Amino acid sequence: MQYFTGTPDNPIRVAIIGSGPSAFYAAEFLLSASDAVVEVDMFERLPTPFGLVRGGVAPDHPKIKTVTRAFERTAQHERFRFFGNVTFGRDLTHGDIAAHYHAVIYATGAQTDRRLGIPGEDLPNSHAATEFVAWYNGHPDYAHLSFDLSQERVAVIGNGNVAVDVARILARTPDELRQTDIADYALEALAQSNVREILILGRRGPAQAKFTSLELKELGNLAGADVFIDPRELELDPLSAEYLRSGESRTAVRNYEIFQEFARSRPLAKPRRIIMRFLLSPVEFVGTDRVEAIRMVKNEICEREHFMSPCPTEEYETVPVGLVFRSIGYQGVPLPGVPFDDRQGIIPNKRGRVINEHGERMRGEYAVGWIKRGAIGIIGSNKPDAQETVEYLLRDMAFHQHFCPANSSREAIPDLLQRRGIRYVTYEDWQLLDRLETERGETVGRPRIKLTSVAEMLNALETARQAATP
Ligand code: NAP
């Protein structure tokens, strides 16, 4: 049997659904394979690429966003194409993919939030942190939202990096925010904010918080907010004390030191306060027309299903708050025609190879990133993750374990999209939008002013096209 490794005339054709970090890392590994010739077409629902790097990474973390420089290099590869503004399952179906490609990689991330499942969760002024993040980052699907920033006390539930991002953005001064690429409308709304106190609530203790230390420490260096921790919050139960003593997690040890620094620090009477509390689980959001308070049960750390679980006591506490952000993790959503594991919120897979409900491998189908492993890890975690999937994909191709496309010509997909009247956006189009956004920013001394509606983006491209036509 002859191995299928692709040739310049008959390359392995791979469709990638999604254009965030895991998608770009997968493309990079496919295009740089030394023993295979692969062509990559990347499909993205929005006209803009980069997924959570554009729509999730906090605007005051521009350094993290420079990862897009590597993605830009991948996009310049002659065997790479970007098709933005194309929705999988609607504009392009699973059947279309199987008819035109040898394989597909799903890289759609985790697009929704986990639920607390408690009474009052859907009251006005209770929001998923994911929505707030997408809103301040100018994501077109969330740009219309509004948040009641007239409230003085806000709670952020969860002890992960998204909770820190949300608290920090709420605490930043208008001057700090103006230096970022935060959406214009969000800058305006946050400049009028009445928020004075931001409570960050963890269901487990300080030893189990999931913050990364750099992000946690940053909270202590804000121009307009002090961080408070009552030293009693840092008293450790035996399990936590032993965990820190063992040094098993350097991050946990470092985080605990930072918490202690916060507890020791003298407040500088800055206009806002961030208060961190632990071992509290919300059991109800109380209110009639909107959230007015959170009722919480006091937990203790015990050894249950997981080591160091939060176990409820008989003690309850009710804290008045006017606005709540639930920051308890992202969750994947199913794709039409693709297996889905509801419990874990991922596409079921074995090391990136998609499997069906009987545990059988689905020929030609692969997953990377958060839709493969769940919403854990930082951007860099997607690199080894994508490498694993691509290695299996190329191995499977070699042994002819792929879709059998009826038409794998390069022109077939753009022709199909045009016939369907889909106004897809190319990578060159995106570069034009990118320039436009940075030019808009330059005029007012900001790094970029984002376009925040799909119509606005498509109109801008149309105007540019007409201007370029003699
Ligand atoms: P995360 O790190 O998984 O944190 C989720 C938090 O929610 C945990 O503290 C968790 O507590 C808590 N939680 C879960 N269910 C809960 C419940 N029912 N009640 C109360 N609390 C609950 O998730 P994330 O903050 O959304 O971040 C997702 C990933 O993106 C993480 O890997 C994160 O590091 C990464 N990220 C990185 C950056 C950065 O590098 N700057 C920025 C943003 C996000 P338990 O620990 O008890 O489960």
The answer to whether the beta carbons of residues 23 and 369 sit under 8 Å apart is: yes
DSSP line for 450-470: ----HHHHHHHHHHHHHHH--
Tokens 């030394």 correspond to 34
Does 201 contact ligand 1 (Cβ within 6 A)? no
Does 330 contact ligand 1 (Cβ within 6 A)? yes
* Distance, CA of 449 to CA of 1 (rounded, Å): 55
Q: Please name the amino acid found at residue 348.
A: P
What is the atom index within ligand 1 of the atom nearest the CA of 215?
41
Q: Which residues pair with 88 in a beta bridge?
A: 92
pLDDT tens for 168-199 read 999 999 999 999 999 999 999 999 999 999 99
* Distance, CA of 54 to CA of 141 (rounded, Å): 13
Does 226 contact ligand 1 (Cβ within 6 A)? no
Q: What predicted TM-score, i.e. pTM, was given to this entire model?
A: 0.96
Give the pLDDT confidence score for residue 308 in this predicted structure. Answer: 92
Does 438 contact ligand 1 (Cβ within 6 A)? no
Give the pLDDT confidence score for residue 67 in this predicted structure. Answer: 97
Chain mean pLDDT for the chain: 96
Does 294 contact ligand 1 (Cβ within 6 A)? no
Domains of the chain with CATH codes: 12-111+332-425 (3.40.50.720), 114-328 (3.50.50.60)
The answer to whether the beta carbons of residues 94 and 337 sit under 8 Å apart is: yes
Does 281 contact ligand 1 (Cβ within 6 A)? yes
Residue 66 pLDDT level (bands cut at 50, 70, 90): very high
pLDDT tens for 67-121 read 999 999 999 999 999 999 999 999 999 999 999 999 999 999 998 999 999 999 9
- E strand residue ranges, 67-224: 80-83, 103-106, 112-113, 126-128, 153-157, 197-201
What is the atom index within ligand 1 of the atom nearest the CA of 116?
18
pLDDT tens for 14-42 read 999 999 999 999 999 999 999 999 999 99
Q: Choose the residue to mutate in 130, 328, 379 for probing ligand 1, maximizing ligand atoms within 8 Å of C-beta.
A: 328
With CA atoms as reference, report the closest residue to 386 among 127, 96, 31.
31
Residue 210 Cα to ligand 1 midpoint, Å, equals: 6
Does 446 contact ligand 1 (Cβ within 6 A)? no
> Six-digit token pair at 234?
């840092």
Give the pLDDT confidence score for residue 267 in this predicted structure. Answer: 76
Question: Quick one: average pLDDT of 125-148?
Answer: 98
pLDDT tens for 314-373 read 999 999 999 999 999 999 999 999 999 999 999 999 999 999 999 999 999 999 999 999
pLDDT tens for 287-317 read 999 999 999 999 999 987 667 999 999 999 9
pLDDT tens for 401-441 read 999 999 989 999 999 999 999 999 999 999 999 999 999 99
The answer to whether the beta carbons of residues 465 and 457 sit under 8 Å apart is: no
Residue 330 Cα to ligand 1 midpoint, Å, equals: 8
Phi, psi of 350 (to 5 degrees): -120, 110
